[in-house]
Structure 1
Amino acid sequence: MRSSSWAVVVWSVLGMGVAALTRADCPDPVGRWPVAVQAVAAAGTTAYLGSGSTLIVLDVSNPATPSAMGSTVVPATIDRIAVSGSFAYVAADSAGLRVLDVSDPAHPVEVGHADGLASDVAVSGTYVYVFDSGGLSISDVSNPASPVRVGSWHGPFAPLSPGRVVVSGEFAYVGGQDDLGWALYAVRVSDPAHPVAVGSYRGPTERGHPVLTDLALAGNLLFATEAGYSEVYETTSMDVLDVSNPASPTWLGGYGHSYSPSGYAVATSGPSVFLAYSSQLDVIGIADPRNPVLTSAQPLNAGVAPAAIAVAGHRVLVADREGGLYLFDDSACGASGCSLACTPVVPASAVAGAPVAFLGGFLQGGCTGTPTFDWDFGDGSAHSSEQNPSHAYPFGGAFRWSVAVTLAGASCATSGTISVASSLAPISAPGAYAYVVPTSAHKPGYNGTNWVTDLVLTNPGLTDTVARVYFIKGGRDNTGSPARPVIVPLRRSLRLSDVVASTFSESSASGAILVGSDVPLIVTSRTYNDALAGTYGQFVPGIPLGQAVGPATTAWLTGLSQSASDTLGFRTNIGVVNAGAQHVQVQIALYGGDGFFLGSKSVDLNPYDFQQVDKVFAGLAASGVDDGYAVVSSATPGAVLFAYASVIDNGTGDPIAVPASVPPTVP
């Protein structure tokens, strides 16, 4: 390796001349493979190259003299390569996904494939993600010899156009071309069979009609490179996006040169980004992602059109098509000191009074020691020096938070905005979408039963939401029932286990639950007998508030049973809920299966009240009731009524929920 030296180089950045001190050995050019290469991946001291339709396995343990260990041919041109364990996954253009066993580098062999188109490939766990004709295809490769396509997502991309895909956690970031230029989509892939786009970003159209050429991730930063069609436009070669909130990818900054028709390739390593284009490899510092800074550069002497970059340890490999493969060592890039890049994760929304988790992520290179943090939450409160503090905003508004990280003399800083809901609506105005779960409990019951309810809120939308959860406790006026705020992330299900005790702090109570939100939710619950031998439960969905039974309608509860014995057979409980702001009188008319009227019960309900009538047929039929039914009604003007029944096995405590049915109107 050459000794350290410094050079002054003048680069043209977005049309402006910028003088930058660069290290001549950062990264250090240490080797060359003079064979045409358009794709590269690396793992340890082994590189995997795509040269036309040939996969070459290259030993780069001594990068000054790389040597081929083996090769094999696939049916079409290799566009991209991803490696995991003993397998290489190849995006082979019109030949689709090809799976190669590379456990014996001297004899790589294809063991499986999935037909179709493939211009890019990424692997995570046992799933492979391919950009195919206009979108994303997901295959299960738990058996690499037999990839099974399990899901797909297709965006508004131009047919047959190439695209790019990178994966991190439960999200795939998919970019491609459409009529306006290029666009990027954040696709949730936590359920591989049903991927769904939750957010998007469009490349600026004022730069002409640029083409997306590459994607790379570093923490919550996504780097997208592009090339322009015309010299009329000055093209930003790299956009820096914040994807900490995948529902809203946000442009932070850009870095680039004037027009480059040959395209760009990008990869990341710690707090540095490597950007290759026609004649050079740039090393870009992202300590402030809003202002990427050129820190060093190396010429690509025979530079043609860099197609891909791979980083493994200190090795940086650039596939330069006909220019061959360049091998660099970036050890010296950290020799001049520590470098940092801040990549915190902060939610986009919160509720006043509720704790918010701030995660102090960062990337570092050449650093030793323990970092220090300085969080400013933007509300005038004391700063925090914790890496991952929790903070509750006392009031609502939009707050500009910031974090600074210092380590070994280096520092980075970044900021963002969090929107905090200022107040929670009363139960009389729960939100644009409201749902009533007519029964819930945390209390002992008849025959030694112990009733508990789990509430599940599912957000099918594309933005996080704050749900407002109210408890309508039985036997009282709940007009003043406070809302409990619950943040339900986009495309997530949130379970509130034993909700009556855990969320409402009730030690022995039953009642209904009202859930309000500004976006549609799917509300479900399970109320069950928590017994020593296991649980016996009933599914009770949340019913939209607009489906309440009014004074002009009746609710029917059918299939009801009650045995003469209290220990054998079944018993029936009926519950009624008033979800309105006035007193309501409810009539429950009870019938046998043969239609014979057995009697009625009258229930007076306070505003926002709940009552359950246990063993509702007691005293009305000495021999018991089979297949009976109840008709629930109210003559109170403006009544907002819900009803349900539970048929419970006296021996086991196993309940069956009976939802209310409203008969159709007879014409």
Structure 2
Amino acid sequence: MKASRYVFLFLLSFIPTMLAAQVNDTYVIPAASNASGSFGTRWMTQFSLFNPQTYALVVSVTFLPSGGGHALEARITVPSNSVVFADNALQEIFNIGGSGAFLVASFPEDNPSVPNDVISRSFLVVTNTLNKLSNGGTFGQTIPGVWAGLQDYNTDGISAISHGLRNISRFGWRTNFGGVNLGTSSVGLRIRIYDQNGNTLLKDVSYTIPGQGHMQWTLPVEVDRGSVEFFVDDPTKKAVVFAYTSTLDQYTSDPMYQTPTLLATANVLFKKGIVDPTTLGRKIDITIAREVRRNATSLGEVTLSSRSD
């Protein structure tokens, strides 16, 4: 990878946008857990929803399991200007263990008295996937809600990159990577790994993510302060995929999560004829979220703690 060949979409974010662009009615949390990990760790995902509106919102949370399989969906009512919170979301919302990803959305059909537009249904969501120590302390990584994902590279021309990664067993560093696929068919998550100087260590190795499922792996080669570039190969050209990396210090189990930055060549951007960063990458919306929810088993309404409890 030659950095000079790319126009980083991050730079386009300096174009003025309304504050409303900071919130959305649909988010993906690419990784969530309630499971044992390596070296005696036990990972769980804290989950926080905030409703900035002057009225209550019903928010849908769909769990897409690792390895694929049947999704689960639950609805949570969030009071006006309030937070609802779970210390262990998979346990408290779905009563299950395991790992996967969340799709979080506020649907118009769940909020019939709310104006039917994105801003009126917008909310905030953030998670922390953490390890709890025997003395009650915790350490972990923040995994924010995102909404711009990757599509088929040959069609869309956009890849994504995480950098500053370490995967060195003798020094206790391990980098995991993974993704969640919102499409109904399997896709290939193809990676290239570069060292700190831009030399290619691994080129175009592909990993399969099942339809409406999540997967995670460990980087297959050692790298010190390097980078990984993600591409999606999707014959259907319909899937939206959210990739991530997480680097762990084996000796402390302290993790560092990274959302890859979308990037594209100047030729791709000129061909699209756009400079608005909100139109780059595939922004998920209620239509995509509704299709995912349609295939999930609904658990109905669940109650989490709020300020009134």
Shorter-chain TM-score above 0.5: yes
Partner of 1:597: 200
SS at match of 1:610: strand
Question: Contact (CA 8 Å) 2:159, 2:264: kept in 1 or not?
Answer: no
Partner of 2:89: 499
Structure 2 unaligned residues grouped into runs of 5+ = 1-23, 108-120, 271-309
Offset of residue 433 of structure 1: 2.3
Give aligned pairs, total: 223
Percent identity for Structure 1 against Structure 2:
29
From 77, 81, 85, the counterpart of 1:487: 77
Q: Is 1:607 aligned to 2:211, yes or no?
A: yes
Q: How does 1:135-284 map to 2 (within 5 A)?
A: none
Describe the superposition over 1:590-610 as per-residue Cα deviations: whole angstroms up to 9, x where unpaired. Answer: 221121222254221221110
Partner of 1:633: 231
Offset of residue 633 of structure 1: 0.9
Structure richer in strand, relative to its length: 1
From 32, 35, 52, the counterpart of 1:440: 32
Offset of residue 470 of structure 1: 0.7
Q: How much is the aligned-residue C-alpha RMSD, in angstroms?
A: 1.6
From 186, 192, 195, the counterpart of 1:583: 186
Partner of 2:253: 653
Aligned letter for 1:540?
I
From 454, 464, 479, the counterpart of 2:56: 464
Distance 1:477 1:646 in 2: 24
Describe the superposition over 1:147-205 as per-residue Cα deviations: whole angstroms up to 9, x where unpaired. Answer: xxxxxxxxxxxxxxxxxxxxxxxxxxxxxxxxxxxxxxxxxxxxxxxxxxxxxxxxxxx
Q: How does 1:185-584 map to 2 (within 5 A)?
A: 433-478=25-70, 481-507=71-97, 509-518=98-107, 519-532=121-134, 534-544=137-147, 547-551=148-152, 552=156, 553-565=158-170, 568-584=171-187
Distance 1:474 1:482 in 2: 12
Distance 1:635 1:606 in 2: 12
- Mean CA deviation greater in 628-637 or 436-445: 628-637
Distance 1:435 1:580 in 2: 15
Distance 1:571 1:541 in 2: 21
SS at match of 2:151: coil
SS at match of 2:179: strand
Describe the superposition over 1:312-353 as per-residue Cα deviations: whole angstroms up to 9, x where unpaired. Answer: xxxxxxxxxxxxxxxxxxxxxxxxxxxxxxxxxxxxxxxxxx
Structure 1 stretches of 4+ with a deviation exceeding 4 A read none
Aligned letter for 2:214?
F
Offset of residue 631 of structure 1: 0.9
Distance 2:183 2:189 in 1: 13
TM-score, reference length from structure 2: 0.69
TM-score, reference length from structure 1: 0.32
SS at match of 2:96: coil
Describe the superposition over 1:104-154 as per-residue Cα deviations: whole angstroms up to 9, x where unpaired. Answer: xxxxxxxxxxxxxxxxxxxxxxxxxxxxxxxxxxxxxxxxxxxxxxxxxxx
SS at match of 1:461: coil
Distance 2:206 2:83 in 1: 38
Distance 1:482 1:433 in 2: 19
Describe the superposition over 1:402-443 as per-residue Cα deviations: whole angstroms up to 9, x where unpaired. Answer: xxxxxxxxxxxxxxxxxxxxxxxxxxxxxx921100011011
Distance 2:163 2:201 in 1: 14
Distance 1:580 1:531 in 2: 37
Question: Contact (CA 8 Å) 2:41, 2:253: kept in 1 or not?
Answer: yes
Distance 1:530 1:434 in 2: 29
Offset of residue 630 of structure 1: 0.8
Aligned letter for 2:228?
A
Distance 2:248 2:58 in 1: 35
SS at match of 1:554: strand
Relative contact order, CA 8 A, sep 6+: which one is greater? 2
Describe the superposition over 1:349-396 as per-residue Cα deviations: whole angstroms up to 9, x where unpaired. Answer: xxxxxxxxxxxxxxxxxxxxxxxxxxxxxxxxxxxxxxxxxxxxxxxx
Offset of residue 664 of structure 1: 5.0
